Structures are given as structure tokens and as C-alpha cells.
Structure 1
Amino acid sequence: MTDSPDVAPGEAVYRILLVEDDEGDALIVGELLHDTGLRFELTTRTTLAAARAELARGPIDCVLLDLHLPDMAGTDAVTTLRGVAPHAAVIVMTGLSEAQAGADAMAAGAQDYLVKGKVDADLLHRTVRYAVYRSRTERASAEAQAARLRAEENVRLERGLLPQPILDTSTVTVTTRYLPGAERALLGGDFLDVVEGDDGLLHAVVGDVSGHGPDAAALGVCLRIAWRALVLGGHRGPALLHLMERILHAERGGLPLFATCALLTLDQEAATATLHLAGHHEPLLTTDEGSRQLPAAHGVALGVAPKLGNWHATVIPLPPSGALTLYTDGLTEGHNGTAAGRLEVAGLLELIDRLPPADPGAFVDRLIEETQTLNAGRHTDDLAVLRLDWDSR
């Protein structure tokens, strides 16, 4: 049953669930609520099981709970309801002879308690309002704490997924960006890195672990760190990918995770870029004449067919000046401004050539902003971009 008094429409509406098996007591509470002047919607249930079902159907602001129900009595009822609806305020109704019951109920999670026979409309008005206010304040505090913890975790993951490039003598400008797929989400499994080896060559990687969340992120951090250590140790090409696949297989445990990645070695002196693709798409080359996708040999993603990977090198001649952009598919799988169409690589290239010139960081930021505007939140995926700019003229 749902009731609502005749009050001003601008006032807050309290959704109240009364859990009471005594019809007389339920009638008294209903009449008192009408006398409070509160704007409310009242639903009455006579058992805890029925109350749980009602809470599962939709949000409730306040539960008025009798501690003596046919299917459960005492503070266990408070604990049960708080477990089902942790953000609903619970006000316990006790008998005159139950002096300790109210305090015990509050210790179990209730916001307040009322003694039957000693409740008037003013007291009920204040109790409901304050209990709901305290419950909402507790919820806001818990969400703020969760946001702080999430931000701290993101900082730790960023250090693993987005490291500082190791550049000694290279004149290449490195630009990196990373965005999680969902708002307020932790970083996912995309990763990238750039280091200059003892050979004077610039080595870069962009990868994407399947899935989202902490498991994918942890594996992405592991692969990124492994790649850096292996590259600095002198490993290159297929041998490097085989070692990364072995590490992935060991670190993923029983989870069905795999990873795509693109390896790139930039040799400024020879004016070449050497690519190895493991299930990843080709990078983009931007010059004064425009942007295009580089054709390259493809190999299987890491972890899909262990020990069967066969990754071939593709050597690309480079112009005296230009930019190479490596990215994960979060940049291209979003919508292109229509409900059905995806941006894909062709749309991305058109967008790059349409944007006005800018320094690399500002250009990448504008590119990401434009793709997200077109997507309008319809597709969510992690997004990582690595851009290398050079000018040997």
C-alpha cells in the first residue's frame, strides 16, 4: 500500500517502508506520518522476507522496522536489511519494556530507534528526516573515500602503465596519452613505453590486454615492465615477443587473457622504422603530405596460441620529418557521429588531416577530444596513444 499526504510539490519525497506485522501498530504509524507534514510514499510489509523483496525492487529512503516479526526478531533483522539496502536509513520501533533493544539496534547499523507508545508526529518527523540525512551523509562519505582510493590506485597504475620514457641522445619528441574506458574507472590493460637502447635506436611498444579492470591492468603493467627490461637487455623482434608471451602465460594464471602489441624500432640515422605486430593494428605515418596507415606483416596476439607465434619484421623508410602514431583500438572503435557507424581507421585518418596544426601534445589531446565527441559515450574502451615526432632537417 502506498500513501502520500497533500503537501507542496517542491518538498522532498521520502520513500518509506514500514515492516510491521501488527495491523493496529501499522495503522498508528501511518496516521502519525500523515500528521508529520512530510511528503512521503509509504509501503507496508508484514514479514522480513517481504521487506527484502520490496527493497530489491527499488530504492527506499527509510525503513521503519518492528523488531518482532514472524520470520526474524531482534538485531538480526537490522543486519539483514542493511545487507540488502545499505544506503537506506533504518529506524527501529521497540516496546516500552525493551530498554536496551534500541541501543543494540543502532550498534547493529540502525540510524535511530523509537519507542512504541511514546511517539508523536513531531518526534517522528524529526527522526525520519535526521535518519535519512545521516544515511545519505554516510553514503556520500563512503563514495568520497572510494573515489580517493580509486584515485590513489590510478596513480600507482599510471606509474606502471605510463612510465617516463628513457631517452638519452634521441631528438624524437615523445607524446603519450591514456584514458580509461569508463568514467571514474581504474586504468585498464592498455600499456605503452619508449626507451633508447645502448645501440642508439629508439624502441617503442603499445599493447592492449583483453578485458578491463584490475586483472587486465596488473597484466598490462607486468608486460610493460618485462618489455622494458628485455629491450634494455638486448632482446629484439620475434625473440622478444616469445619471451613476453611466456611471461604473459605465467602471469595470467587461470584467466583467459591475451594481449595484442605493436613493437617499433626507430632508426633516425638509417631513416627507417621496423615493425613487429602481434595481433595489433598498424601505426599511422603523418607527413606534410597527409596521414596514412603503414602496411605491415601481421602475427598472432600473445597468449592466443602459445609457442605458435610467428612474427615477421616490416621495415618502413621514413621521410626526413614526420610523426608515427601507435594506438589501441579504443581510439577507432567508437562511433563516428552516427548510431550505427564506427570511426575505424579511415575515419581517424580523415579526422587527423582535418585538424589544424599544433604541437604534438595539443594535437593528440584535440584528436582524442574529437573522437570522444563523435562517439558520445556509446562505446567504452580503454584508450592509449603514443606519438613519435622527428625532424632531421
Structure 2
Amino acid sequence: MDWSKAGTAAVPAQTEPPVPHRHDVPILLVEDDAGDAVLFEEVLADSDLGHDFTWSKSLAEAEEELRGSGSGTCILLDLHLPDATGLAAVRRMLEVAPEAAIVVLTGLADGRTGLSAVAEGAQDYLSKAQLTADGLNRAVRYALQRKQAQRATAALQAGRLQAQENARLERGLLPVPLLRDPGFRVVARYEPGRDHAILGGDFYDVVQTEDGSVHAVVGDVSGHGAAEAALGVCLRVAWRAAVMSGRTGPDQLRLLEEILVAEREEEHLFATLVTCVFPPGGTELTVVRAGHPGIMLRTGTGVSWYESPGGMALGFLPGHARWTEDSLPLRPGTSVVAFTDGLFEGRTGPAGERLGEQGLLRAAEGLHGLPGQEFVDRLVQDVSDRAADHGGLSDDVAILHLDWEHGS
């Protein structure tokens, strides 16, 4: 076989990329011919590429060599192997080492096969009959560069798709309040926790019915991910439908639990929530809790914590929970703040102690004189700042600030 002729196939004539350190590029040759393998290693020794060289005689050997690795590797793949030939060899190698760059080795008359291999997912092809040190140098470098560019493009596309999914889930989890009376004010905010690229299962909603009553819910599906977010959307929509059809209180929660059990993908998933009903007039509040934290009440003199008698989280022991509806008087000008536990689960201070309900209450008391929107924004910022040394908010936060304007 003549190894002296220069050139590679399908490589553009352009300035070469920077030369890598000699041991930076692991090269795996998959070739069943021992003579070709020896000659190939000699050409490799004359190139500027490193000598981190491995030879596998079959695709099976290569699969074993690449198991659990492959990133940053350039695979030089012969298309005539004892256990795979042609494009089937390329497909199998892509399955085993999707992060590796692949250069297929062809015969002098196999240019069309090389192009087909590139279309299948290889980065380049190289004629064994035209192999030189410079040609090998160029093929390996550009294959690695193309693979890196493909990964960057794929990551960018994944980011775009994830942003679209977030937007879709946000519309389902965090709807626009449905209000008839401009005298009722709602401040709503959602804040993602650290390391969460996708929304979790926190949700809220506010609906005013024909009789003038305002109904609100804040809930949290256990866990974090697409399935939990989808379940949160399902529960939020079901809650709104229940309110508009007249189902409230414990009866409403029984319906929501039935839906959760029917729709959840994993048996261990459950949801906590708190519902608040503001009858017309602004002098009363009715609360039902299902495994959820209490609420805060803001008045002109301060902030207090209110924890009504509660019941079990939805789906924890289906059919066995009992929920209590609790009513309390509201003084004129009182605001109700409902939220998910991400608002107080963060770690603070040098020892990383949990902020907790009392820590959250102290933070809120320092802001009690602020208008609703500013109060919510400053409270979330304060909690986030306290947790900054420990990675920020440990979980997503959904928060509602609710009141009748001037207690009307």
C-alpha cells in the first residue's frame, strides 16, 4: 500500500488552528489490519499530534476502550471491520461515544462513502491511500474543532428549547389573576432557586367569583423538574375550575387530591397548599391548609405569623386526610402574605443555619411599612442576600401579597 501521497478529503484550505499540547489529544485507531496500524502509528509519530495512541482491532474492542469516556477523543475509524462495516460502524460508534470526534478511514475510491459517513454524524473522512503527517494533523484538529462547534450549537439549541419550556410552564403555573373588582390588590412574584434551569412545581392563582369573593391559592408540588411542574399546572387549573364551579374549602381539597393521585407519575409525589377566601367587605378571611406553611398578616403596626389548623398534604395518604376551614376577622388595611417554603428554607450565617419561619418573620417585620410591591421585592431580596454565602435560595419561591384597597 502506498502511504506516501499527500492530502486529505473534505478539508478546507484555511489557516490551521492552534497546535494542541502533544499529549492533549487521545487518539483511538479502530483498524483490523495490523500492518496498516503499524504504518499509521509511524505517520502519527511524524505529526505534531501527541502520542496518546490506542489501537483497537474491532468495534467491540473500541467500545470497551471507550466505555465511560470519549469526550475530547478523536476516533480514526476504518469502515471495513470484522464486526461492522460501512455506515453501520459509524452509527455504532456514535452510540458508544457521542462526545468523541470521528474521522472515518476510506480507500482511494471511497470518497462517496466518506461523504455519507459525514452526513451520518462523523466529523471528517480521510483516505488511507493519501495519508501524510500533515494531512493527519489537519484532519484530527478540524474534526475536534467541528465536534466542539457541534456541541456548542446543540447546547445553544437546548437552551432555547428550555427557555421556551420555561415560558410555557410559567404561563400555566403563574397566571394573571382573574379579578372583577379593581379595589382588590394582588402582588405576585416567582423566584427560581439555585441551579434550577426549569421551573419547579410551585404555583399560585387568584380568582374573584360573581358574588365578589376573592379566592387565592399558593401551592408546591414535592420535588423539582418537568413532571412536577406539569403536575403543578394541572393542580392550578383544577383549583381555578373548582372555584368557578363553586367547590371550596375541604371539599375542594378532596377534589384536588383525587386529581393529583390520578395525574402524578410517581406514587411518592405530593403537594402542599394554602387557600384563602376574602368575602366582600374586607373584614374576614377563611383559610384552609394542607401540609403548607402558615401565612403572614401585615398591619400598620407590624407583621404577625398566622397558622390555622391544618391537614395533611395532598397525596400523602390519599383518602385519609381531614382538612379544617378556619375563619378570622381582618382589621381594615390588613394585608395577607402567602408563600411557598422556599422563602424560609435557605441557609444563612457562618454556620449555615436554616432561616426558618421566625427568621423570615423578623425579616418581614423590618419591612412592614413598605407598599405591597416593594415589600415583596425587598423581602425576597433580603432572604436571597442572607443565603448568598450558601448558594442563594435553596428552592423556588412563589409569593402572593393580597389586600383590599384601604380595607374597602
The one-letter amino acid paired with 1:305 is L
1:5-24 equivalences in 2 (<5 Å)? 13-24=24-35
Of stretches 336-345 and 83-92 in structure 1, the one that deviates more from structure 2 is: 336-345
Distance change in 2, residues 1:90/1:243 (3 Å): same
Of stretches 259-268 and 335-344 in structure 1, the one that deviates more from structure 2 is: 335-344
SS at match of 2:347: coil
Distance change in 2, residues 1:94/1:299 (3 Å): same
Distance of 1:362 and 1:63 partners within structure 2? 58
Q: In the alignment, which residue of structure 2 is the partner of 1:377? A: 391
Distance change in 2, residues 1:364/1:83 (3 Å): farther
How well do the aligned residues superpose, as a CA RMSD in angstroms? 3.0
CA contact (8 A) 1:285 1:324 kept: yes
Shift of residue 82, structure 1, vs aligned partner: 0.9
Q: In the alignment, which residue of structure 1 is the partner of 2:119? A: 107
Shift of residue 162, structure 1, vs aligned partner: 0.8
Q: In the alignment, which residue of structure 2 is the partner of 1:4? A: none
Query: Is 1:318 paired with 2:330?
Result: yes
| Structure 2: stretches of 5+ with no match in the other structure | 1-17
* Deviation string, structure 1 residues 142-163 (Cα, Å, up to 9, x no partner): 2222222222222221111111
Q: In the alignment, which residue of structure 2 is the partner of 1:250? A: 262
Q: In the alignment, which residue of structure 1 is the partner of 2:156? A: 144
Alignment coverage as a number of residue pairs: 387
SS at match of 2:131: coil
Percent identity of equivalent pairs:
46
| Structure 1: stretches of 5+ with no match in the other structure | 1-6
The one-letter amino acid paired with 2:234 is C
Distance of 1:391 and 1:354 partners within structure 2? 22
| TM-score, normalised with respect to structure 2 | 0.83
Distance of 1:372 and 1:39 partners within structure 2? 48
1:152-171 equivalences in 2 (<5 Å)? 152-171=164-183
CA contact (8 A) 1:170 1:196 kept: no
* Deviation string, structure 1 residues 317-352 (Cα, Å, up to 9, x no partner): 333324322111222222224465222212222333
The one-letter amino acid paired with 2:396 is D
Distance change in 2, residues 1:75/1:323 (3 Å): same
* Deviation string, structure 1 residues 109-128 (Cα, Å, up to 9, x no partner): 21111111311122222222
1:249-288 equivalences in 2 (<5 Å)? 249-252=261-264, 255-267=267-279, 269-288=281-300
Q: In the alignment, which residue of structure 1 is the partner of 2:400? A: 386
Distance change in 2, residues 1:338/1:82 (3 Å): farther
Of stretches 197-206 and 69-78 in structure 1, the one that deviates more from structure 2 is: 69-78
Query: Is 1:309 paired with 2:309?
Result: no
CA contact (8 A) 2:298 2:368 kept: no
CA contact (8 A) 1:324 1:387 kept: yes
Shift of residue 284, structure 1, vs aligned partner: 1.6
Shift of residue 306, structure 1, vs aligned partner: 2.8
SS at match of 1:57: coil
Q: In the alignment, which residue of structure 2 is the partner of 1:118? A: 130
Distance of 2:195 and 2:189 partners within structure 1? 16
Q: In the alignment, which residue of structure 2 is the partner of 1:332? A: 344
CA contact (8 A) 1:13 1:40 kept: no
Q: In the alignment, which residue of structure 2 is the partner of 1:216? A: 228
Distance of 1:8 and 1:109 partners within structure 2? 25
CA contact (8 A) 1:207 1:262 kept: yes
Shift of residue 276, structure 1, vs aligned partner: 0.3
Distance of 1:354 and 1:20 partners within structure 2? 72
Shift of residue 61, structure 1, vs aligned partner: 3.9
Shift of residue 366, structure 1, vs aligned partner: 3.6
SS at match of 1:276: strand
The one-letter amino acid paired with 1:232 is M
CA contact (8 A) 2:186 2:401 kept: yes
Distance change in 2, residues 1:294/1:112 (3 Å): same
SS at match of 1:321: coil
Shift of residue 229, structure 1, vs aligned partner: 1.8
Distance change in 2, residues 1:10/1:276 (3 Å): same
* Deviation string, structure 1 residues 226-275 (Cα, Å, up to 9, x no partner): 11122122222112112222222333366443211101112462522211
Distance of 1:360 and 1:12 partners within structure 2? 61
